[in-house]
């Protein structure tokens, strides 16, 4: 038996020597027992030591694993923060691993050490695989972020006018970030994501390009989009259902744009003529000529202008003829005609003379102007010029045009003929006609309102100069008067009415208070005397420049209308008189009490007037409050005090009104209503 070495071995040798020196029969057995116990103890101790060494080795292996995981995290963080790129990640990891203390397993026997070294290699390999996965995730996240940014940029680019979808898709697909994202981590899940990106990109492109084409009125661009939608090789990422929906949208936009473009052309034509004359006179003349021209074509069996006729117009204008537009654009010929009329209007300075040039030819018209005189230069009237024309047919046509001009208001235009022309255009479908009419109607309402405002302002200025400012007629610019219609000129220059009319005056005031912005002089110029007309004009101006007051009156008159309808009062004349009487009493009440009336007070006063109107409606007329007071207070002229009659008579004379019993009674009623003497 080999004697162990070291302190423990020396102690065993001493025991053994003692046992030898005491050799005996009984002692030999005891010695064997002791040696067995010692051997067992030694085995236990050796086993424990081996277990401790194994625990130490496992701890070394665990610490090594922790170190490897920490290295992976460090490398990932360096990549995430941009301090290294993905190509530098393996090299950086290896540097850190080289500096990581490696487990030695020195207290293990050869077999166990070999086993632990194998575990270390497995751990290193597993860690490497984990690192590769982390590399992939880090690269995927970074690349995905880059792809998201790239997709956003490309998506923005396809929203620009005239964008190229294929270039955008190629730019996206060939980008490094796009390729990296597909390479790391997604595998089978990447292609569906790419398809979804392309679907969104194509959808955004179609919507944006439809919007741009529609806003620009570019029908060709819309038609190109539609062609691409029905082409199976285009927009491959879009589903058939989405393509179908987009096709419906683009069809609707084509109709809208076609209709609006048609309407805008008509609008531009009207606008050019209005700018040249300041009213609708040139528009009326051109519309008349167009109607005559179409009738002549129909009479000759033609449905439209021939190409030779269109070429001739273009030649006269000095323009190059566009045969493609002639064949494809239904408005091209009409535009040529409009341009020709505009040119003649510039040359002759008169819509009627432009019409004469078209009917007789410029050369013949020039001869007539030399022979008869030029109406545009006030050498004779349009009517006299037409009367001198020897050609009966031309004389008749120009006579009809001139008659219509004289009988029409320059600030009003019947657009029914233009709307009918749109309806009769076979080149437009029903939707396109609807949008064309809406575009034209909206513009005409706007320009007509502008012209009416300008006409009314001129009308009022001339009237005030004559009757308020007392400017002699000879000193007023005749052009300002001739801008008025013949009927308005008659009323303006006729002797003003001398009799007060409280009922009509109240009705007119009620209309103004209810927001009816009419031409006071046109509608009441021959119905009311100067002072009442002046008061109406002042009220209209006050409501125009004082929106707060106007809105308050609109609120009140709206309430009056609603409560009147509840009692079946719908007659506009009665409603307007109610508007005036109720709002006047409310204003007096606020002045006397120094506060605004309450809602209840407003309703009570309104209901009192409305109920009285309902009772009086049986006789089909309604007396204003002033007339009621007048009738209640005055039965005969003799009941008015003499000194009061004298004062009233003097005021009537000062206002150029007749001093009649009726005027004195009405004026006295107004004085009583105002609590004045």
CB of 483 within 8 A of CB of 448? no
Identify the pLDDT of residue 26: 54
pLDDT digits (tens, 9 = 90+) for 196-220: 888 999 999 999 999 999 999 888 8
Residue 497: phi and psi, rounded to 5, are -65, 140
Q: Which helix (H) or strand (E) holds 89?
A: helix 89-98
116 token code pair: 């632990």
Identify the pLDDT of residue 12: 47
Q: What is the pTM of this model?
A: 0.56
What rounded mean pLDDT belongs to the chain?
A: 81
Cα dihedral 468, 473, 478, 483, rounded to 10, equals 40
Task: Round to whole Å and give the CA distance between 457 and 95.
Answer: 92
The DSSP result for 481-504, as a single string, is HHTS-HHHHHHHHSPPB-S--HHH
Beta-carbon contacts of residue 421 (< 8 Å; ≥ 6 apart): 290
Identify the pLDDT of residue 507: 94
Task: Round to whole Å and give the CA distance between 386 and 400.
Answer: 10
Identify the pLDDT of residue 625: 47
Task: Round to whole Å and give the CA distance between 46 and 62.
Answer: 24
Identify the pLDDT of residue 248: 94
| pLDDT, mean of residues 147-152 | 78
Among the ranges given (242-256, 329-343, 361-375), the one the predictor scored with the smallest mean pLDDT: 329-343
Task: Round to whole Å and give the CA distance between 351 and 283.
Answer: 8
pLDDT digits (tens, 9 = 90+) for 446-488: 888 888 888 899 999 999 999 999 999 889 998 888 888 888 8
The stretches of 424-546 forming alpha helices (DSSP H) are: 430-467, 478-482, 486-493, 502-513, 520-524, 530-545
542 token code pair: 């006050």
Helices (H) and strands (E) in the chain, counts: 30, 0
Comparing 262 with 624, the larger pLDDT belongs to: 262
Orientation angle between helical segments 307-317 and 332-348, nearest 10 degrees: 40
- Look-up: residue for tokens 């982390």? 134
Identify the pLDDT of residue 677: 39
Among the ranges given (241-255, 570-584, 639-653), the one the predictor scored with the smallest mean pLDDT: 639-653
Choose among 452, 464, 436: nearest CA to 330.
Answer: 436
Identify the pLDDT of residue 482: 82
CA 442 to chain centre: 16
Among the ranges given (87-101, 380-394, 430-444), the one the predictor scored with the smallest mean pLDDT: 87-101
Which of 273-287, 434-448, 604-618, 646-660 shows the highest mean pLDDT?
434-448
β-sheet bridge partners, residue 529 = 497
pLDDT digits (tens, 9 = 90+) for 313-355: 777 666 777 887 777 676 777 778 888 888 888 888 889 999 9
pLDDT higher than 50, residue 373 = yes
């Amino acid at each position: 038996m080999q004697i162990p070495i070291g302190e423990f071995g020396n102690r065993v040798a001493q025991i053994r020597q003692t046992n030898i020196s005491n050799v005996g029969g009984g002692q030999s057995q005891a010695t064997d027992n002791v040696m067995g116990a010692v051997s067992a103890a030694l085995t236990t101790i050796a086993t424990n030591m081996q277990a401790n060494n194994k625990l130490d080795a496992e701890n070394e292996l665990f610490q090594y694993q922790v170190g490897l995981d920490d290295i992976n995290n460090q490398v990932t963080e360096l990549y995430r923060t941009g301090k290294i790129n993905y190509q530098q990640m393996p090299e950086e990891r290896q540097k850190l691993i080289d500096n990581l203390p490696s487990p030695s397993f020195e207290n293990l026997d050869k077999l166990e050490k070999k086993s632990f070294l194998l575990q270390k290699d497995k751990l290193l390999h597993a860690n490497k695989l984990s690192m590769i996965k982390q590399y992939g995730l880090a690269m995927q996240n970074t690349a995905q972020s880059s792809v998201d940014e790239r997709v956003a940029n490309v998506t923005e680019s396809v929203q620009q006018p005239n964008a190229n979808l294929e270039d955008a898709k190629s730019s996206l697909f060939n980008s490094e970030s796009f390729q990296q994202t597909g390479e790391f981590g997604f595998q089978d899940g990447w292609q569906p994501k790419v398809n979804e990106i392309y679907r969104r990109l194509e959808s955004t492109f179609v919507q944006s390009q439809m919007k741009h084409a529609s806003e620009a009125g570019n029908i060709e661009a819309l038609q190109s989009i539609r062609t691409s939608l029905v082409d199976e090789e285009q927009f491959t990422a879009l589903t058939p259902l989405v393509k179908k929906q987009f096709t419906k949208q683009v069809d609707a936009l084509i109709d809208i744009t076609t209709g609006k473009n048609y309407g805008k052309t008509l609008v531009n034509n009207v606008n050019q003529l209005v700018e040249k004359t300041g009213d609708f006179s040139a528009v009326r003349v051109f519309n008349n000529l167009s109607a005559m021209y179409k009738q002549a074509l129909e009479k000759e069996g033609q449905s439209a202008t021939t190409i030779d006729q269109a070429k001739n117009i273009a030649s006269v204008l000095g323009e190059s003829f566009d045969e493609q537009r002639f064949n494809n654009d239904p408005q091209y010929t009409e535009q040529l005609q409009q341009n020709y009329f505009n040119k003649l209007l510039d040359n002759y300075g008169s819509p009627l003379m432009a019409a004469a040039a078209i009917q007789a030819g410029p050369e013949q018209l020039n001869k007539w102007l030399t022979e008869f005189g030029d109406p545009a230069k006030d050498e004779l009237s349009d009517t006299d010029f037409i009367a001198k024309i020897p050609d009966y047919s031309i004389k008749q046509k120009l006579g009809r045009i001139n008659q219509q001009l004289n009988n029409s208001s320059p600030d009003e235009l019947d657009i029914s003929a233009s709307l009918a022309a749109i309806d009769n255009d076979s080149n437009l479908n029903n939707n396109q006609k609807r949008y064309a009419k809406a575009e034209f109607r909206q513009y005409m309402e706007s320009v007509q309102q502008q012209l009416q405002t300008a006409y009314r302002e001129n009308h009022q200025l001339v009237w005030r100069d004559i009757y308020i400012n007392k400017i002699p007629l000879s000193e007023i610019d005749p052009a300002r008067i001739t801008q008025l219609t013949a009927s308005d000129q008659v009323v303006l220059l006729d002797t003003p009415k001398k009799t007060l009319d409280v009922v009509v005056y109240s009705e007119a005031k009620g209309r103004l208070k209810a927001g009816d912005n009419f031409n006071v002089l046109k509608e009441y110029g021959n119905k009311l005397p100067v002072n009442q007309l002046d008061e109406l004009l002042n009220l209209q101006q006050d409501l125009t420049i004082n929106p707060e007051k106007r809105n308050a009156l609109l609120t009140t008159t709206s309430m009056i209308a609603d409560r009147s309808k509840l009692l079946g009062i719908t007659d506009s004349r009665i409603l307007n008189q109610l508007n005036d009487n109720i709002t006047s009493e409310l204003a007096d009440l606020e002045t006397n009490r120094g506060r605004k009336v309450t809602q209840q007070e407003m309703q009570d006063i309104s209901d009192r007037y409305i109920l009285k109107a309902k009772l009086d409606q049986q006789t089909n007329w309604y007396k204003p409050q002033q007339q009621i007071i007048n009738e209640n207070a005055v039965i005969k002229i003799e009941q008015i005090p003499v000194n009061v009659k004298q004062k009233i008579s003097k005021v009537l004379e000062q206002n150029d009104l007749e001093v009649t019993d009726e005027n004195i009674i009405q004026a006295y009623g107004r004085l009583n209503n105002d609590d004045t003497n």
